[in-house]
């Protein structure tokens, strides 16, 4: 007999704070659940460890969606990092986490000992997290899983600013978030969003860079309709 | 007839409180917590790499810095720092980020009594805003015992001059549960327990337990306020 699907937690899509009991395991029989960020198991209960909205990805994956300035590395995240030091084997990269990240000199497409890239201190890198463990420094790579450079590598020119991790996630969500959609209709610009709360913008003229950056920064506390009207008023001022 | 206090409150009434989310731009999390005219600004930095000498590198460590409104740091401030550090250690999950240090810096902006409870509430809010993993929240309340044995809550500076004794109590916040069992309210209250207790002056057992009972009831109101604050300032849904 096929077992009945587990009933979702009553708190899904509600705000939870640390200590809230999200699931009671004594009521579940023979079911598998997956825990994401912001949750922990305490004996027979699953409790929240951070404040935010509880999410459920069917059938059984739970996580707490929260937003903060500090980034905790996670495997397969794409991040914007700043090179802070160069060692013979690694670049040390600041990704706004508890520890500096290692970017091996061979972690580039076609990288060999003969053509190690030359990065100055302060270079902005778009990279992928390949190892993340709380007791080790995270490791980055500028290749995707198939070994191609794809969109990774050094970002030149442009302007990089800090946001919260929640805003970064919103900018990367699909469908395209309203502020980027509205800006894209009128302006031509390049953008890179790191899940660690950094955004890089480049455009042909500096005034466009400033408008795009200000629009993104303002959009965090606005709803979708508010974002579109905010972009329109900014663009009116521009022309 | 219930006698009212000098500022018009009844014995169980708390002063109005407010909390501002992330007023400081450079801190990873910050909170400005006001209870009446007692105001504390708390800032959280970290987790930062490394632990200081004497700390356990297998766990995260917490550093507390207390900055008074006027004057230099003295013995009283050192005691506040130690109390806060122990309280925060008990509510934080220290094993999530080993070999890191989280700094909590408190600036006293206004002091009109019940300063330590206000600071503890500000710290908890700031830790949540910074995304530090916590087992649960903590809510703090100050109780005073008058000469005639009456217990009053959330004392202000003028009242503190006339107290026989006082207690600062820290409780875990009330938790929301998805369990289908309907927990008994009394059973739930006793289960919550007491995190920190600081007493001053001479107090009988009856008075102390009366303080705990009244403080626990009042902490539910602060719990609800804390929960509302954390919810309403979250980024809006797209």
Nearest to B98 among A38, A135, A221 (CB): A135
pLDDT value, residue B238: 34
* pLDDT band per the 50, 70, 90 thresholds, residue A239: low
Burial of A60 (0-12, 13-18, 19+ CB in 10 A): middle
Which of B2-16, B32-46, B135-149 is least confident? B2-16
pLDDT value, residue A1: 40
Give the residue from A149, A160, A231, A150 showing the smallest Cα distance to A190: A160
Looking at the complex, report in whole angstroms how far the Cα of residue A114 sits from the nearest Cα belonging to chain B. 33
Angle between helices A206-218 and A224-238 (to 10 degrees): 150
- Residue A95: which CATH number? 2.40.50.140
Is B200 a residue whose pLDDT tops 60? yes
Angle between helices A178-186 and A206-218 (to 10 degrees): 160
Q: Taking residues B122-136, what's their average pLDDT?
A: 92
Whether residue A132 is contained in a domain is answered as yes
Pairing assessment for the beta strands A139-141 and A124-131 based on DSSP bridges: antiparallel
Looking at the complex, report in whole angstroms how far the Cα of residue B74 sits from the nearest Cα belonging to chain A. 32
Chain B positions touching A69 (Cβ under 8 A) are: 28-29, 130-131
C-alpha B86/C-alpha B136 separation (Å) is 15
- Evaluate whether B21 touches B3 at the Cβ level (below 8 Å): no
Chain B positions touching A70 (Cβ under 8 A) are: 28-29, 46-47, 130-131
pLDDT in tens, A23-47: 888 777 777 888 888 998 888 788 8
Whether residue A72 is contained in a domain is answered as no
Whether residue A4 is contained in a domain is answered as no
Looking at the complex, report in whole angstroms how far the Cα of residue B6 sits from the nearest Cα belonging to chain A. 36
Nearest to A50 among B47, B131, B178 (CB): B131
pLDDT value, residue A189: 92
pLDDT in tens, A75-99: 888 899 999 888 888 899 998 898 8
Whether residue A184 is contained in a domain is answered as yes
Nearest to A50 among B133, B177, B238 (CB): B133
B148 touches A: beta carbon within 8 Å: no
ipTM: 0.86
Q: Taking residues A211-232, what's their average pLDDT?
A: 85
Is B2 a residue whose pLDDT tops 80? no
Same domain, yes or no, for A222 and A177?
yes
- Residue A55: which CATH number? 2.40.50
Same domain, yes or no, for A48 and A33?
yes
- Residue B203: which CATH number? 3.30.230.70
Mean pLDDT of chain A: 84
Whether residue A183 is contained in a domain is answered as yes
Whether residue B40 is contained in a domain is answered as yes
Chain B positions touching A17 (Cβ under 8 A) are: 128, 137, 173, 176, 226-227, 230
Q: Which helix (H) or strand (E) holds B223?
A: helix B205-232
Please answer yes or no on whether A19 and B137 come within 8 Å at the CB atom: yes
* pLDDT band per the 50, 70, 90 thresholds, residue A231: confident
Out of A130, A154, A178, a domain closes at: A154
Gyration radius (Cα) of chain A, Å = 21
C-alpha B43/C-alpha B7 separation (Å) is 31
Give chain A's domain count: 3
Gyration radius (Cα) of chain B, Å = 18
Mutate which: A39, A51, A220, vs B, most B CBs within 10 A: A51
Give chain B's domain count: 1
Strands, E assignment, chain B? 17-21, 29-35, 38-49, 61-67, 100-110, 138-145, 151-153, 165-172, 196-201
pLDDT in tens, B86-97: 899 998 988 888
CA distances from A44 to A10, A21, A23, A28 (A): 17, 10, 9, 10
Chain B positions touching A47 (Cβ under 8 A) are: 135-136, 175
Which of A175-179, A183-187, B128-132, B185-189 is least confident? B185-189
C-alpha A113/C-alpha B146 separation (Å) is 78
pLDDT value, residue B1: 44
Determine the straight-line distance between the first and last CA of chain A, rounded to whole angstroms. 67
Whether residue A103 is contained in a domain is answered as yes
pLDDT in tens, B139-163: 898 999 988 888 888 888 898 888 8
Chain A positions touching B225 (Cβ under 8 A) are: none
Q: Which helix (H) or strand (E) holds A174?
A: none
Whether residue A23 is contained in a domain is answered as yes
Is B121 a residue whose pLDDT tops 90? yes
Comparison of pLDDT for B187 and A72, the residue scoring more: A72
Is B168 a residue whose pLDDT tops 80? yes
For chain A, give the percent of residues with pLDDT over 90: 21
Is B233 a residue whose pLDDT tops 70? no
* pLDDT band per the 50, 70, 90 thresholds, residue A48: very high
Nearest to B234 among A21, A53, A177 (CB): A53
- Evaluate whether B134 touches B60 at the Cβ level (below 8 Å): no
Chain B positions touching A72 (Cβ under 8 A) are: 97, 131
Please answer yes or no on whether B230 and A15 come within 8 Å at the CB atom: yes
Comparison of pLDDT for A146 and A179, the residue scoring more: A179
Looking at the complex, report in whole angstroms how far the Cα of residue A31 sits from the nearest Cα belonging to chain B. 16
C-alpha A206/C-alpha B99 separation (Å) is 42
Please answer yes or no on whether A223 and B237 come within 8 Å at the CB atom: yes
Same domain, yes or no, for A222 and A171?
yes
Residue A171 lies in domain? 159-238
Whether residue A8 is contained in a domain is answered as no
Same domain, yes or no, for A145 and A182?
no
Place of tokens 């109101």: B221
Which of B18-22, B106-110, B231-235 is least confident? B231-235
Residue B154 lies in domain? 15-173+193-230
* pLDDT band per the 50, 70, 90 thresholds, residue B33: very high
Out of A154, A177, A209, a domain closes at: A154
Which of A185-194, B25-34, B47-56, B202-211 is least confident? B47-56
Is B211 a residue whose pLDDT tops 80? yes
pLDDT value, residue A2: 41
Please answer yes or no on whether A98 and B49 come within 8 Å at the CB atom: yes
Is B8 a residue whose pLDDT tops 60? yes
Same domain, yes or no, for A113 and A171?
no
Out of A154, A184, A212, a domain closes at: A154
pLDDT value, residue B234: 53
Q: How many CB atoms lie within 10 A of CB B20?
A: 16
Q: How many CB atoms lie within 10 A of CB A104?
A: 16
Whether residue B110 is contained in a domain is answered as yes
Whether residue B186 is contained in a domain is answered as no
* Residue B162 backbone dihedrals phi, psi, to 5 degrees: -105, 5
* pLDDT band per the 50, 70, 90 thresholds, residue B189: low
C-alpha A220/C-alpha B52 separation (Å) is 37
- Residue A210: which CATH number? 3.30.1370.10
C-alpha B13/C-alpha B155 separation (Å) is 10
Give the residue from A164, A216, A172 showing the smallest Cα distance to A193: A172
Give the residue from B46, B28, B66, B15 showing the smallest Cα distance to A162: B28
Pull the structure tokens for residue B102.
């989280």
């Amino acid at each position: 007999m096929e077992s009945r699907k587990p009933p979702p937690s009553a708190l899904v899509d509600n705000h939870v704070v640390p200590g809230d009991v999200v699931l009671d395991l004594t009521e579940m029989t023979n079911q598998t659940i997956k825990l994401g960020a912001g949750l922990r198991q305490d004996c027979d209960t699953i409790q929240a460890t951070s404040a935010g909205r509880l999410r459920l990805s069917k059938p059984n994956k739970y996580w707490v969606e929260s937003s903060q300035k500090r980034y905790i590395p996670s495997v397969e995240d794409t991040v914007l990092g700043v090179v802070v030091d160069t060692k013979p084997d690694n670049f040390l990269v600041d990704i706004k986490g508890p520890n500096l990240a290692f970017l091996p000199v061979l972690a580039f497409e076609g990288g060999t000992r003969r053509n190690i890239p030359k990065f100055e201190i302060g270079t902005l890198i778009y990279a992928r997290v390949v190892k993340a463990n709380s007791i080790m420094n995270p490791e980055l790579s500028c290749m995707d899983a198939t070994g191609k450079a794809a969109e990774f590598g050094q970002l030149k020119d442009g302007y990089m600013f800090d946001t919260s991790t929640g805003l970064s996630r919103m900018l990367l969500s699909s469908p395209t978030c309203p502020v980027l959609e509205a800006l894209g209709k009128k302006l031509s610009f390049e953008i890179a969003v790191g899940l660690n709360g950094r955004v890089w913008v480049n455009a042909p003229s500096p005034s466009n860079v400033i408008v795009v950056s200000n629009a993104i920064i303002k959009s965090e506390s606005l709803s979708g309709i508010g974002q579109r009207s905010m972009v329109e008023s900014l663009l009116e001022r521009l022309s | 007839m219930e006698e009212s206090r000098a500022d018009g409150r009844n014995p169980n009434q708390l002063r109005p409180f407010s909390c501002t989310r992330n007023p400081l731009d450079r801190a990873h999390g910050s909170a400005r917590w006001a209870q009446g005219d007692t105001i504390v600004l708390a800032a959280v930095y970290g987790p930062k790499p490394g632990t200081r000498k004497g700390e356990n590198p297998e766990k995260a460590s917490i550093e507390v810095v207390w900055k008074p409104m006027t004057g230099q740091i003295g013995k009283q401030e050192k005691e506040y720092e130690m109390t806060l550090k122990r309280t925060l250690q008990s509510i934080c999950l220290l094993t999530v980020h080993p070999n890191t240090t989280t700094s909590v810096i408190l600036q006293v902006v206004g002091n009109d009594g019940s300063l330590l409870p206000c600071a503890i509430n500000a710290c908890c809010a700031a830790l949540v805003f910074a995304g530090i993993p916590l087992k649960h929240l903590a809510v703090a309340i100050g109780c005073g015992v008058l000469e005639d044995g009456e217990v009053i809550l959330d004392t202000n500076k003028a009242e503190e001059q006339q107290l026989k004794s006082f207690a600062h109590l820290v409780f875990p916040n009330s938790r929301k549960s998805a369990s289908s069992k309907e927990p008994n309210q009394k059973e739930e209250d006793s289960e919550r327990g007491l995190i920190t207790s600081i007493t001053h002056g001479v107090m009988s057992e009856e008075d102390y337990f009366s303080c705990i009972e009244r403080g626990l009831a009042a902490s539910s109101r602060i719990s609800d306020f804390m929960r509302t604050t954390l919810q309403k300032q979250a980024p809006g849904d797209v």
